[in-house]
Amino acid sequence: MLLERESELSRVGAALSAADEGTSSVILLCGPLGIGRSALLRRLPGVVSGTDVRVLRANAAPMERDFAFGVVRQLLDSLLSGASQADRERWAREPGRASGLMFGADDTPAGRPLAEDMPMGEAPDGAGVGGPAGAASEATLHGPRSLLADISEHARLLILVDDLQWVDIPSLRWLAYLTKRLRGLRVVLVCTLRDGDQGAGHALVREIAASSTQILRPAPLSHDATRAVIRERSGVPGDEEYVRACHEVTGGNPLFLMSLLLGMEARGHEPTADHADRVRALRPAGLRERLASYLRTRPRAVRDTAAAIAAFGGHGDPELITELAGLDEIGFGAARRALREAGLLADAREPRFIHRVVQDAIESAMTVAERERWHAAAADLLYRSGRPAEQVAAHLMAVTTFGRPWSVMVLRAAADTALRRGAPETAARYLRRALLGHRPQDESRARLLVELATAERGFDPEACQRHIVQAMPLLTTVRDRAAAALRIPPPLLGAVPPSTAALLRGVSDELGSPAELDGPAREMALRLEARLRHCGHENPGELASAMERLRELGEDPPLGSAAERELMAVLLFSGTLTGRLSAAEAARTGGRILEREPATSAGAHTALPLVVVTLFAAESVQDVGSWLSTEQQTRWQNATGADSVLLLAERAFVLVSQSRPTQAREYVERAMGSAETDWREASIMILSTVALELRDPALSERILARARRRRTAGLALTAALQILQASVDAQRGLRSRALESLLACGRQLDVSGWRNSALFPWRPHAIGLYQRLGDSRSALRLAEEELAWATAWGAPAGLGRALRLKGWLQGAQGVPLLREAVAVLRDSSFELELARTLVLLGRQLGSGPEAQAALREAGTLAAACGAPWLVERAEHGLGTASAPKTAVLTRSERRVITLVGRGLTNQEIAGELGVSSRAVEKHLTNSYRKLGISGRHELADALPA
């Protein structure tokens, strides 16, 4: 398949037409590696019209350059293969007509070197240039030309020579001889010549090129041609994003494009948008070997320049590359020009390869020792030039020996830079390399270990603790040991390893009581106390002790320093877990902590998330939302990894609490795209709560699957996941199993002294399951417990929910409780909970103005909150007169419409319901017909507010 070469083909065709009138031509096909010169040459016989054209072909090769007249012999062989027996016999009887070359006679002058090809002052067989050998050479050159003249009297000749740069010298001499003697012949000579090749600079090649009448340069393939090639290869049209990626990566070079497509086919990747990133990352092995073979034949200066560019990663300063390659400015310019002409360098001021596979090819052609030498030299050069530490460190990472006294210093500086730009894993790699080069077991090694642990705490807490333990014996002061111990990230809501608690306790005892210290030592002691108290957050005795400490600090505890805020966050959370504080107290103190917390805090590695969880439990969502909005820009700019997931979870909870489920889901989806190592206990717990509110089984299952892959989990995480799983089971119809799981969760929480139903709402879910399973007595008992706790805690949404549940269980007698619940919930931001309560109140009232008003308000709130299932309940309560359209939908149709209202696609709905996409389409078609609308875009207007 040859695309976008019509212009070149037509010009050769025009030259053949001119040859019919006696005007011969020499056409040169030039271009970089892989542009398709040979493919175009093979296609040229197809432009021949008529039977009076003879095509002669020859292909040159590097390994055949020592075979004298090899290309000429190929041309004559192709002439013989198409000749009649009479012509063959006639040519054999005429030795002056190149019969020796045609029939392989060894005693012809063609078998000896030409005088013109010998060094100056020498001649074959001791003869001078004007002797017999020189005369024989002239006869050898003239013989094939005379033969072509004889043939061209009866037919036009199309002579094709591929890879002129590799043609043997005697054949080049003959081609140069021929190009000057085309008058009277009907010949079109077409030769291909690769740009940037060393052979292209030979004097005879330049002489042939100078004699050319046309020089054709095939252009790279366009975007449309790339699409056509993809379609031809795969049999289906590629997605636009996939085509765009292929075109950008290959630059329209046919060789690169075909290698890329073959690599994608071998991996079974279809030409879809999902695989566009794979296209950009793929480095085809076949293309790499082809490029490596090409580069091995280049001059030393070109190879050294390519190696220097590769050593700098394809993005280096020209002055540094010139110095690294050991060339002067002129030599570097010539080598760079050769690489650019070969199509390996982008046409830019900065030497840069057109594709990463070019660098792979260069590196694969080197030995390990050669690669190390290049990187070591690059590191020395960059260090002497005062370049940034990360640039130097990138080369030190590729060197196995440490012979430079500044290596460790540079690697540490590079690690610090990487940490500040949010790349802890890169920083850890630098520091591990530095440790390999630091043999003494001294305090400087301990500081390296602490720095490594600091980098690792974001993605490998176990390794972080291990390196802190290794560093402790090497640190000479207690303050240094305390500072090192505090680098271990607090397992906020997870299980605390005994070794961590023992380490913190030992350092705390060594440092002393905070009351006896001041300055930095007191700060460390307070932080150690906070960590130790939180280590016992699953122990009722430790929780009681924390409450006593909280009461000692008074109603206005000191919060001026980070250590004081960290201790208060732990104590406040302990009071929230046990329910010994009121929601108002928790909200007041938690709000004060947030007011003083700087925006640059790495929240996932401090106790700050405990404050946010406390405020969520206290329903102080407005405080958290304002804090996130105020600090969001700075925090998002600095947030990476675990911090990013935590911020996404916090934003999702604020939005779902403000009855904005669609926006909340967007943040959850962004969190789902983060790495598993970035999910901390607090983030999972918050996301689980969001999923509970969204009532989306598919989303809940995804969160559960992600969370269960964690190796360890504390009670908080276990309980949150149990409640979420029970919710999924209940929505799937597995009510008994869901209830059993919730009751087991409640028993575990009670044993640990965790009473706060706002954090772990197992009772509200269990109440509904008891009632639906027919156990009203157990449901009422739990409802009374929930109401007692909610009254003591005092958060409006929790109290309103407890009142609603008890009122629901009491039937018509529960109307006063429902009215009270509505009054309480009007002071809450949880509008969806208010809508639920209004629906229930309207149904319990039966009919009348109050019922109608409650149901209408419920429908309005539910629609504003994006809860069509609740809108439907309100409509049914209002009666068919208020909802004449949706009442005629079947249950399955209403369920599909509800999922459409949540923004799901047909495929997602099919997966949610466990049916085929065709079934979903059928339900939607029937629903649209019954509602009198044409599609999704009219659905919002069809559903009543």
For the residues of 804-855, what is the DSSP string, one character each? Answer: HHHHHHTGGGGHHHHHHHHHHHTTSS-HHHHHHHHHHHHHHH-SSHHHHHHH
Using CA atoms of 259, 265, 267, 273 in order, give the dihedral in degrees to the nearest 10.
100
The bridge status of strand 25-31 relative to strand 53-59 is unpaired
Task: Report d(CA 14, CA 825) in Å as an integer.
Answer: 87
At residue 111, the pLDDT reads 41
Paired tokens of 734: 């597995």
At residue 118, the pLDDT reads 40
Counting Cβ atoms within 10 Å, is residue 932 exposed (0-12), middle (13-18) or buried (19+)?
A: exposed
- pLDDT bin (cut points 50, 70, 90) of residue 191 is very high
pLDDT at residue 557 is higher than 80: yes
The more confidently predicted of residues 587 and 124 is: 587
pLDDT at residue 892 is higher than 70: yes
Amino acid found at 218 = P
Contacts of 650 (CB under 8 A, 6+ apart): 612, 624, 628, 686
Task: Report d(CA 670, CA 753) in Å as an integer.
Answer: 35
Task: Report d(CA 764, CA 730) in Å as an integer.
Answer: 13
Highest mean pLDDT among 76-80, 114-118, 707-711, 933-937: 76-80
Number of H helices, E strands in the chain: 48, 5
At residue 160, the pLDDT reads 94
pLDDT in tens, 154-168: 888 999 999 999 999
Task: Report d(CA 97, CA 103) in Å as an integer.
Answer: 11
Interval 403-408 mean pLDDT? 86
Tracing tokens 């640190």 back to the chain, one arrives at: 475
pLDDT at residue 908 is higher than 90: no
pLDDT at residue 100 is higher than 60: no
**Eight-class DSSP state of 399:** -
At residue 161, the pLDDT reads 94
Instruction: Look at residues 548, 546, 526, 525 and name the one whose alpha carbon lies nearest to residue 536.
Output: 546
pLDDT at residue 94 is higher than 80: no
Asked if residue 643 lies in contact with residue 603, where contact means CB atoms within 8 angstroms, the answer is: yes
Amino acid found at 122 = E
Instruction: Look at residues 221, 207, 151 and name the one whose alpha carbon lies nearest to residue 5.
Output: 221
Task: Report d(CA 896, CA 74) in Å as an integer.
Answer: 73
Interval 405-430 mean pLDDT? 90
* Domain residue ranges in the chain: 6-216, 223-282, 289-485
Paired tokens of 115: 């005088």
Interval 30-43 mean pLDDT? 90
Tell me the percentage of the chain whose pLDDT exceeds 90.
Answer: 23
Contacts of 685 (CB under 8 A, 6+ apart): 493, 613, 716, 717, 720
Interval 921-943 mean pLDDT? 67
pLDDT in tens, 322-355: 988 899 989 888 888 888 888 888 876 778 888 8
Instruction: Look at residues 205, 222, 183 and name the one whose alpha carbon lies nearest to residue 60.
Output: 205
pLDDT in tens, 348-390: 677 888 888 888 888 888 888 888 899 999 999 999 988 899 9
At residue 741, the pLDDT reads 93
Interval 385-402 mean pLDDT? 87
- pLDDT bin (cut points 50, 70, 90) of residue 93 is low
For 734, left (φ over 0), alpha (ψ -120 to 50), or beta?
beta
At residue 50, the pLDDT reads 62
The HSE-up count of residue 744 (CA atoms within 13 Å, CB side) is: 15
Asked if residue 335 lies in contact with residue 301, where contact means CB atoms within 8 angstroms, the answer is: yes
pLDDT at residue 884 is higher than 50: no
Amino acid found at 817 = L
Q: How far from chain centre, in Å, is Cα 220? A: 28
At residue 538, the pLDDT reads 86
Phi, psi (5° rounding) for residue 556?
A: -125, 70
At residue 430, the pLDDT reads 93
pLDDT at residue 315 is higher than 70: no
Which helix (H) or strand (E) segment is 532 a member of?
Answer: helix 519-535
Interval 294-317 mean pLDDT? 84
User: Among positive and negative, which fits the CA dihedral 152, 157, 162, 164?
Assistant: positive
According to CATH, the superfamily of the domain at 6-216 is P-loop containing nucleotide triphosphate hydrolases (3.40.50.300)
Task: Identify the three-state secondary structure at position 13.
Answer: helix
The HSE-up count of residue 563 (CA atoms within 13 Å, CB side) is: 15
Question: Which residues sit opposite 353 in a β-bridge?
Answer: 345
Task: Report d(CA 550, CA 250) in Å as an integer.
Answer: 65
First to last CA, the chain: 60
Interval 785-808 mean pLDDT? 91
Paired tokens of 679: 């999910």
Tell me the percentage of the chain whose pLDDT exceeds 70.
Answer: 86
pLDDT in tens, 438-457: 878 889 999 999 999 999 88
At residue 712, the pLDDT reads 63
Give me the chain's average pLDDT, please.
82
Task: Identify the three-state secondary structure at position 679.
Answer: coil
Question: Which residues sit opposite 426 in a β-bridge?
Answer: none
Region of poorest pLDDT, from 499-508, 526-535, 575-584, 921-930: 921-930
Tracing tokens 């490029």 back to the chain, one arrives at: 291
At residue 348, the pLDDT reads 65
At residue 106, the pLDDT reads 44
Task: Report d(CA 589, CA 565) in Å as an integer.
Answer: 10
Task: Report d(CA 113, CA 107) in Å as an integer.
Answer: 13
Interval 572-579 mean pLDDT? 90
- pLDDT bin (cut points 50, 70, 90) of residue 109 is very low
Distances (CA, A) of 804 to 139, 654, 818, 852, 883: 113, 23, 5, 18, 25
pLDDT in tens, 798-848: 899 999 999 988 888 888 999 999 999 888 878 888 888 888 888 888 778
Task: Report d(CA 679, CA 646) in Å as an integer.
Answer: 8
At residue 190, the pLDDT reads 94
Query: Angle 530-532-534 (CA atoms, 0-180°, nearest 5)?
Result: 70
The more confidently predicted of residues 744 and 134 is: 744
Task: Report d(CA 393, CA 432) in Å as an integer.
Answer: 12
Region of poorest pLDDT, from 110-114, 522-526, 581-585, 721-725: 110-114
The more confidently predicted of residues 599 and 281 is: 281
At residue 123, the pLDDT reads 37
Which helix (H) or strand (E) segment is 57 a member of?
Answer: strand 53-59
Interval 724-738 mean pLDDT? 89
pLDDT in tens, 658-672: 777 878 888 888 888
At residue 412, the pLDDT reads 93
Phi, psi (5° rounding) for residue 866?
A: 75, 40
Asked if residue 242 lies in contact with residue 230, where contact means CB atoms within 8 angstroms, the answer is: yes
**Helix segments in 639-734, DSSP class H:** 642-657, 661-672, 681-694, 697-708, 715-731
Using CA atoms of 773, 778, 781, 786 in order, give the dihedral in degrees to the nearest 10.
-50
pLDDT at residue 99 is higher than 70: no
pLDDT at residue 107 is higher than 90: no
Distances (CA, A) of 928 to 897, 918, 922, 925, 937: 10, 15, 10, 5, 11
- pLDDT bin (cut points 50, 70, 90) of residue 116 is very low
The more confidently predicted of residues 81 and 388 is: 388
Angle of helix 642-657 versus helix 621-638 axis, rounded to 10: 150
For 69, left (φ over 0), alpha (ψ -120 to 50), or beta?
left
At residue 4, the pLDDT reads 87
- pLDDT bin (cut points 50, 70, 90) of residue 598 is low
Interval 546-552 mean pLDDT? 91
Task: Report d(CA 266, CA 854) in Å as an integer.
Answer: 63
Q: How far from chain centre, in Å, is Cα 35? A: 30
Distances (CA, A) of 86 to 82, 90, 447: 12, 6, 93
